[in-house]
Amino acid sequence: MNLTLSNPTAPAPDSADGGTWLACIDCEWTGPPFDEIRYRCPDCDGLLEVRYADLPTFDDFAKSEGRGVWRYADALPVESGVSIDEGDTPLYEVPTIEDEVGVSALRVKHEGMNPTGSFKDRGMTVGVKVAEKIGTDRLACASTGNTSAALACYGTRAGTEVLVLLPAGKVAAGKVAQASLHGARILEVDGNFDDCLDIVSELANRGEAYLLNSLNPFRLEGQKTIGLEIVEQFRDQTGDLPDRIVLPVGNAGNTSALFKAFRELVAAGELTPEEVPILTGVQAEGAAPMVEAVETDADFVRRWDEVETIATAIRIGNPVNAPKALPAIRETGGTAIAVTDEEITDAQRALAGDGIGVEPASAASVAGLRKLRESGEISADENVVCLTTGHLLKDPDAAANAGVEPEPVPADTDEVLEHLSK
């Protein structure tokens, strides 16, 4: 394996602050982490990532007094966050699905068990804290729903104004309800997610707000802890490491964050390059620009202007983190696959059958695993973790449509028995 981005141990530049700095992934630019607001490289417009002079080991984490995401504070750019106990989500066994697909071991990392019901909380506990440190009075994001729910919650807790831009009519009910009750100012844009992100990025560039989409490198640091937890939990449960992680891909922030977690574990001497799990991305057929890029071996991802899928959380045509995520998939020997809405709904039912309630985008991971087992791309002797990103209650309409129909009956025991006997 050729981990070309695996140099988080480059010597600290003068601009480093407490051993932490920002670096461009495409050129030699480095800069201070908190002195000025930057989302992209000032020299080449490339994506930025956070770098550290010291990389912690699992022994360091074991000594930590923090919980959840903050158990991994030594691997994060700030010592503590705006926190409501995010992270430390369960790694579930799924016996029925494991039997059905036939792999050595299958686990589901259920990120729907975070405080607001998605992994976005892991990014926000860090990102909102950094915003506080930098000193901003308005936080903003574009969102397919979960980012807005998490930002509304964490931003409000930090006492900061929150502005969210949502694609009108395309956000699941639970997510809008959360953003609304936590008091965000919600703008419903007559356009898709990518249009919302274009607008909010421009607002951020004009200094109107601090941007907390996954373009923000600090947010991805929080999401990195998913990878650290998976390694520790999988080892505890099976004595082994996962060979592969299958995950839904929208803006590809998680794909990038997991890869960074593993690169840093390699640099810290905790994993060999061969032990890094194979990252396998899944998109919906109607919104699959990453899959197209992987299949055609392209150097960049082509923006899809028209996107559609039941999995609204990944209804994204222009994944901003593609320059980080393509190497993540390629250098770990992974792949990307598209699944239909029907396959997503089937997988959502299968997960529910093993007791795990997820929203449609999350089920894409299991739908992708099924398909790649059928094609033989994933072999029977692999240890696999599927990432489920959001909770069932996020999208009650999709759940009700995928589930069984309620049966109306009169308020009378005999008539209820009569009904049941039919």
Ligand X SMILES: *Cc1c(COP(=O)(O)O)cnc(C)c1O
Binding residues: 146, 250-254, 389
Residue 103 engages ligand X in binding (rule: CB under 6 A)? no
Residue 283 engages ligand X in binding (rule: CB under 6 A)? no
The residue with tokens 């999709």 is 398
Query: Count of residues binding ligand X (CB under 6 A)?
Result: 18
362, interface contact from Zn ion, ligand X, none, CB < 5-8 Å by kind? ligand X
Instruction: Give residues 39-98 in contact with ligand X (rule: CB under 6 A).
Output: none
**Judged by CB, which is closer to ligand X: 258, or 372?**
258
114, interface contact from ligand X, Zn ion, none, CB < 5-8 Å by kind? none
Residue 42 engages Zn ion in binding (rule: CB under 5 A)? no
Residue 215 engages ligand X in binding (rule: CB under 6 A)? no
Q: DSSP secondary-structure letter at 301?
A: P
**Judged by CB, which is closer to ligand X: 86, or 270?**
86
Residue-wise burial string across 81-120, b where 16 or more C-beta atoms lie within 10 A, e elsewhere: bbbeebbebebbbbeebbebbebebbbbbbbbbbbbbbbb
> Of 41-49, 228-236, 250-258, 399-407, which segment contacts Zn ion by CB under 5 A?
41-49
Are 287 and 315 contacting, i.e. CB atoms less than 8 angstroms apart?
Answer: yes
Are 109 and 229 contacting, i.e. CB atoms less than 8 angstroms apart?
Answer: yes
The nearest distance, CB 5 to Zn ion, in angstroms, is 13
Residue-wise burial string across 34-68, b where 16 or more C-beta atoms lie within 10 A, e elsewhere: beebbbbbeeeebbbbbbbeebbeeeebeeeebeb
**Rounded distance between C-alpha atoms, residue 119 and residue 362, angstroms:** 11
> Of 38-46, 87-95, 242-250, 272-280, which segment contacts ligand X by CB under 6 A?
242-250
184, interface contact from ligand X, Zn ion, none, CB < 5-8 Å by kind? none
24, interface contact from ligand X, Zn ion, none, CB < 5-8 Å by kind? Zn ion
The nearest distance, CB 294 to Zn ion, in angstroms, is 24
Residue 417 engages Zn ion in binding (rule: CB under 5 A)? no
Residue 44 engages Zn ion in binding (rule: CB under 5 A)? yes
> Of 91-99, 252-260, 336-344, 349-357, which segment contacts ligand X by CB under 6 A?
252-260
Residue 390 engages ligand X in binding (rule: CB under 6 A)? yes
Query: Count of residues binding Zn ion (CB under 5 A)?
Result: 8
> Of 84-92, 131-139, 166-174, 251-259, which segment contacts ligand X by CB under 6 A?
251-259
Among 4, 18, 27, 300, binds Zn ion (CB under 5 A): 27
* DSSP annotation string for 351-367: HHHTT--B-HHHHHHHH
> Of 7-15, 38-46, 270-278, 329-337, which segment contacts Zn ion by CB under 5 A?
38-46
Two structure tokens written together for 82: 């705006």
Q: DSSP secondary-structure letter at 40?
A: B
**Judged by CB, which is closer to ligand X: 30, or 251?**
251
Please give the distance of CA 407 from its chain centroid, rounded to a whole number.
37
**Judged by CB, which is closer to ligand X: 142, or 313?**
313
Residue-wise burial string across 201-231, b where 16 or more C-beta atoms lie within 10 A, e elsewhere: bebbeeeebbbbbbbbbbbbbbbbbbbbbbb
Residue 323 engages Zn ion in binding (rule: CB under 5 A)? no
H or E element that contains 386: strand 383-388
Among 118, 201, 318, 345, binds ligand X (CB under 6 A): 118
Q: Among the residues of 52-209, which ranges form H helices?
A: 58-62, 95-101, 120-134, 146-157, 173-181, 193-205
298, interface contact from ligand X, Zn ion, none, CB < 5-8 Å by kind? none
Residues written for the chain:
422
> Of 47-55, 66-74, 243-251, 403-411, which segment contacts ligand X by CB under 6 A?
243-251
List the binding residues for pyridoxal 5'-phosphate: 146, 250-254, 389
Tell me the HSE value of 356 on the side-chain side, using a 13 A CA sphere: 31
Identify the burial level of 127 via C-beta atoms within 10 angstroms of its C-beta, where 0-12 means exposed, 13-18 middle and 19 or more buried.
buried
Point out which residues bind ligand X (CB under 6 A).
Answer: 118, 120, 146, 214, 248-254, 313-314, 359, 361-362, 389-390
Contact positions vs Zn ion (CB under 5 A): 24, 26-27, 29, 41, 43-44, 46
